[in-house]
């Protein structure tokens, strides 16, 4: 964890305040479902899992939200989609994939039935609207992470 | 079911920053709630605490919090990594087992230790959402836009929530933020996370709340008019934001149904809705009518002390039943993005 103050200070009541930067430097295994999803991103491929009701979950659900069963059927979805809702990030923070003002959005990828949360490089809040089409911008050096999609760019065109 | 009632409460003044340690914050409030009930430590059968290590920046921080209670002679205590309202739910169940008749529950948090909007990112999915570092306001703002564009709420209705909350807080000395704002001024204010404005967002605070609950005749002996817990229920939405309704709160509606909200009229509802549009979603999910007074304390828009704001809602609702200004009230607590978790409690006088 980071992003806290790095300044020492003395409060009005005389209390001394010092920074405490905690981190979480561990390796974790993400299991078979997320492993396949994240490995796919490294290869510029977005996959989801199909639920018992036929809905395609992206990011993939490990267990069926209705029955609780393991989900094992994979479906390729597009790297293009439609903005379902959005908000504006006027001041990016450490860790954001973009370091200039951008939009957060839930994106309905073509072929998916759930929404993916990601950044949209829209330029300004006036330039983005719900219903606009977007396409993924891939990282130059992928690592098998959700950040292998740097962000989505606004595009023209209709659902694939 | 054993009858259980809230018989006393106490809250610290909410502050935007404090240099006190969690133990230093807790001690006066624990002492105050015992004094309010004319009880001593040995009268308490069970102690239950709600707090979060991410607020304190220290693993197992709740262990040191026991210093505020005094661990000798031995006490029976428990902890939830959640708002103190969920500790109250655990204590209520503990009383149901018949092992104890009284419990002191408390919640505390020091939001100012770090950047709270960033700390709240850590409650999101750690693999496919967290690495992008969306902050709490941005997450809430996406829900607000979906509500606005679907017509479930309006900007004016959101401003009316902010106006009423800040006006109500004028008479709440514990509130962090208060004021008399015109609708026009609220709607003209700068957007901080489009479409949200500053006064649509929670007033994050450092705070403490403590409540004492007791069973049956023990409660009647401790308070002139106990606030009886007639129903209490906790329900949860999916952790996957992309697979949730953005414009309704099915878990709150189910919890309200199970808690028996609709069995009779509700005089007062103290709702833990961190954002203005969320209060509108919640009143709809709970089925509240215009005859219910919402958040006479000012609610989370005027003081949102992490890990005690929910228990503070219970305390505020119980106070109004105990002082006779309400016969039937709701205490509500939430947590998680888009109010993922909802705990609904119906309180009645007799």
Helix axes B276-286 and B250-259, enclosed angle (nearest 10) = 40
Tens of pLDDT along chain B (350 residues) come to 999 999 999 999 999 988 888 999 999 999 999 999 999 999 999 999 999 998 888 888 889 899 999 988 899 999 999 999 999 999 999 999 999 999 999 999 999 988 999 999 999 999 999 999 999 999 999 999 999 999 999 999 999 999 999 999 999 999 999 999 999 999 999 999 999 999 999 999 999 999 999 999 999 999 999 999 999 999 999 999 999 999 999 999 999 999 999 999 999 999 999 999 999 999 999 999 999 999 999 999 999 999 999 999 999 999 999 999 999 999 999 999 999 999 999 999 99
How would you class B255 by CB atoms within 10 Å of its CB: exposed for 0-12, middle for 13-18, buried for 19 or more?
A: buried
Domains annotated for chain B, with CATH where assigned, are: 4-114+204-225 (3.40.47.10)
pLDDT of A26 reads 86
Residue A14 lies in a domain: no
Beta bridge partners of B191: B197
Are A97 and B242 in contact (CB < 8 Å)?
no
Contact B243 A104 (CB under 8 A): no
How many CB atoms lie under 10 A from the CB of residue B145? 23
Q: Does some domain include residue A18?
A: no
DSSP string, B291-308: TSEE-TT-GGGT-EETTT
Is residue A112 one of the residues assigned to a domain?
Answer: yes
Which residues does chain B have within 8 Å of residue A147's beta carbon, measured at their own beta carbons? 131-132
User: What confidence score (pLDDT) does residue A158 get?
Assistant: 64
pLDDT tens string A7-55: 788 878 888 888 888 877 888 899 999 999 999 999 999 999 999 999 9
CB distance A93–B118 less than 8 Å? yes
Q: Is residue A105 in a domain?
A: yes
Whether A124 shows a pLDDT value over 60: the answer reads yes
Q: How far apart are CA B9 and CA B19, in angstroms?
A: 24
Is A144 domain-assigned?
yes
Domain housing A83: 31-155
Q: Which pLDDT band holds residue A157 (cuts at 50, 70, 90)? A: low
Chain B positions contacting chain A at CB under 8 Å are 19, 57, 114-115, 118-119, 122, 125, 127-129, 131-135, 137-139, 141-146, 149, 191-196, 238, 240-243, 246
The answer to whether position A22 is within a domain reads no
* Residue A25 falls inside a structural domain: no
Q: Pull the structure tokens for residue B286.
A: 């709970």
Residue A1 has pLDDT above 50, yes or no: no
Rounded-to-integer distance, Cα B310 and Cα A8, Å = 33
Closest CA to B156 of B276, B40, B305, B299: B276
In chain A, alpha helices (H): 31-42
A145 or B57, which is more confident: A145
> Does A146 contact B129 at a Cβ distance shorter than 8 Å?
yes
Q: Report if residue A83 sits inside a domain.
A: yes
ipTM of the complex: 0.93
Return all residues near B63 (Cβ < 8 A) that are at least 6 apart: none
- The mean per-residue pLDDT over the stretch A71-98 comes to 97
Cβ contact A136:A152 at 8 Å: yes
How many structural domains does chain A have?
1
């Amino acid at each position: 964890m980071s992003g806290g103050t790095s300044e020492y200070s003395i409060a009005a009541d005389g209390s001394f305040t010092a920074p405490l930067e905690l981190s979480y430097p561990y390796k974790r295994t993400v299991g078979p479902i997320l492993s396949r999803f994240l490995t796919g991103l490294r290869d510029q491929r977005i996959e989801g899992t199909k639920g018992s009701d036929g809905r395609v979950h992206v990011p993939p659900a490990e267990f069926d939200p209705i029955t609780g069963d393991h989900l094992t059927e994979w479906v390729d979805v597009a790297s293009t989609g439609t903005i379902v809702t959005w908000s504006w990030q006027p001041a990016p923070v450490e860790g954001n994939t973009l370091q200039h003002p951008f939009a957060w959005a839930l994106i309905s990828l073509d072929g998916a039935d759930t929404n993916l949360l990601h950044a949209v490089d829209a330029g300004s809040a006036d330039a983005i609207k719900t219903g606009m089409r977007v396409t993924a911008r891939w990282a130059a050096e992928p690592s098998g992470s959700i950040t292998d999609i740097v962000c989505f760019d606004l595009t023209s065109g209709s659902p694939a | 079911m054993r009858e259980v009632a809230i018989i006393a409460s106490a809250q610290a003044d909410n502050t935007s920053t404090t240099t006190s340690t969690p133990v230093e914050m807790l001690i006066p409030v624990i002492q105050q709630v015992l004094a309010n009930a004319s009880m001593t430590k040995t009268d308490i059968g069970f102690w239950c605490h709600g707090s979060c290590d991410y607020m304190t920046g220290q693993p197992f921080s709740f262990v040191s919090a026991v210093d505020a209670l005094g661990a000798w002679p031995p006490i029976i205590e428990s902890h939830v990594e959640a708002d103190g309202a969920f500790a109250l739910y655990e204590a209520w169940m503990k009383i149901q087992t018949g092992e104890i008749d009284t419990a002191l529950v408390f919640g505390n948090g020091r939001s100012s230790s770090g950047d709270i909007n960033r700390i709240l990112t850590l409650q999101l999915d750690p693999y496919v959402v967290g690495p992008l570092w969306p902050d709490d306001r941005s997450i809430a703002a996406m829900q607000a836009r979906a509500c606005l564009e679907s017509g479930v709420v309006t900007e004016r209705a959101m401003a009316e929530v902010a106006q009423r909350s800040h006006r109500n807080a004028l008479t709440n000395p514990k509130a962090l933020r208060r004021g008399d704002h015109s609708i026009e001024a609220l709607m003209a204010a700068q957007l901080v996370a489009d479409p949200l404005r500053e006064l649509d967002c929670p007033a994050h605070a450092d705070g403490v709340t403590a409540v004492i609950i007791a069973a049956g005749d023990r409660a009647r002996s401790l308070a002139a008019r106990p606030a009886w817990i007639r129903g209490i229920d906790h329900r949860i939405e999916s952790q996957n934001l992309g697979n949730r309704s953005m414009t309704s709160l099915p878990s709150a509606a189910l919890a309200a149904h199970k808690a028996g909200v609709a069995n009779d009229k509700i005089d007062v509802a103290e709702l833990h809705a961190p954002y203005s549009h969320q209060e509108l979603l919640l009143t709809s999910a709970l089925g509240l009518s215009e005859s219910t007074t919402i958040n006479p304390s000012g609610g989370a828009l005027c003081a949102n002390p992490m890990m005690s704001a929910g228990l503070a809602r219970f305390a505020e609702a119980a106070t109004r039943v105990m002082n006779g200004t309400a016969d039937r009230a709701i205490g509500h607590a939430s947590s998680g993005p888009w109010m993922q978790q909802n705990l609904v409690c119906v309180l009645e006088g007799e």
